[in-house]
Structure 1
Amino acid sequence: MRVHKTGPDRHAGLLSTDGLAIPCALGRGGITTTKREGDGASPRGEFPLRKLYFRPDRGPVPPTGLDIETITPDLGWCDDPQSGFYNRPVLLPFAARHERMWRDDHLYDLVIVIGHNDAPPRKGFGSAIFMHLAKPGFRPTEGCVALRRADMIRLLPRLGPETVIAIG
């Protein structure tokens, strides 16, 4: 599976795999080889897909070959480079800076964890790099890859533990 920038907007992308061509949003900072926490860029490289997180109150879990975990109201993701839990899921409340996975805006109803900077995490080199649902109009992400819900549901059955995403 490949993701690349399309057109003049640095955050407009295209995901292609198995004959599918799916529009996607990328980071507001475009694609970078030198990913840093807070730069808003999507990391360039090849990364495994770790697992699917889903909100059970927003519909049934779509079929996929990925490992699946449920998003609960107390699930967060640490994005604080000073924390020993950097770029890891955490339970809330959590003292260090973090993202809340249970969101009102539907972006994290379906979330695939992209294996960027996680084996092991290097502090400050980017966290919470996900494939998630897109904002209206494919507005840019903070460094993730974002798809329409219908496209994510079409894509999920094609994904498994051996799937790699190549961004760039």
Structure 2
Amino acid sequence: MVLSPKGLRFLGRTYPCTIGKGGLTSRKREGDGATPRGAHRIVGMLYRPDRMARPADWAVPIHPGDLWSDGPGDEDYNMMVRAPYPHSHEKLRRSDPLYDLILLTDWNWPYAVPGRGSAIFIHQWRRPGYPTEGCIALSRQSLHHIAPRIRHRTRLVIP
């Protein structure tokens, strides 16, 4: 997968996508809204089993209480955690469809550097052209087309 000015290229097709509201950066920081440049890997896939079928045999279901730690001072920073959770976090099981299907990248993972930024996901967009908080977002149709074709450790290149 390669991010280009026209979208996300994968297996000979280009899919329109959006990136972080802070643009692209080589100096990612927690909360900057930027998408980090570099060569990353897809290291996980999460999905909502109450909203869709399992997209790949290695996909993991998102359950009620699943969260993602985004507090730089937390020992579980940039890791999936469970509620109740006293530190800063993001709910993975959202009421909207943005996180019905998530491709996890290895950005600042598994050994997170505090403040370097957490959770760069590939997920569904709100609408075309609407930026993310640093993730890459695609239409639901595009994301569902890519998911069963992707492999664990697939490269994601953000030039």
Q: TM-score range by the shorter chain?
A: over 0.9
| Contact 2:74-2:87 within 8 A present in 1 as well | yes
- The 5 Å alignment of 1:83-122 reads 83-122=74-113
Moved over 4 A (4+): none
Instruction: Give the stretch that moved more between structures: 133-142 or 101-110.
Output: 133-142
Match of 1:44 among 37, 44, 54: 37
Identical positions, percent: 38
Q: Deviations over 1:49-75 (max 9, x none)?
A: 01110001112122x36x311101100
Code of the residue aligned with 1:61 in structure 2: it is R
Look up the SS of the partner of 1:137 in the other structure.
coil
RMSD of the alignment, in Å?
Answer: 1.2
- 1, 13, 21: which one aligns with 2:14: 21
Equivalences, count = 159
Shift of 1:158: 2.2
Could you say which residue in structure 2 is the equivalent of 1:138?
A: 129
Is 1:2 the counterpart of 2:7? The answer is no
1:107-166 per-residue CA deviation (whole Å, 9 max, x = no partner) reads: 000001111001311000000110000112331000000011110111112211231100
Native 8 Å contact 2:104 2:119 kept in 1: yes
What is the one-letter code of the residue matched to 2:11?
A: D
Aligned counterpart, 2:60? 69
Which runs of 5 or more residues in structure 1 are unaligned?
7-12
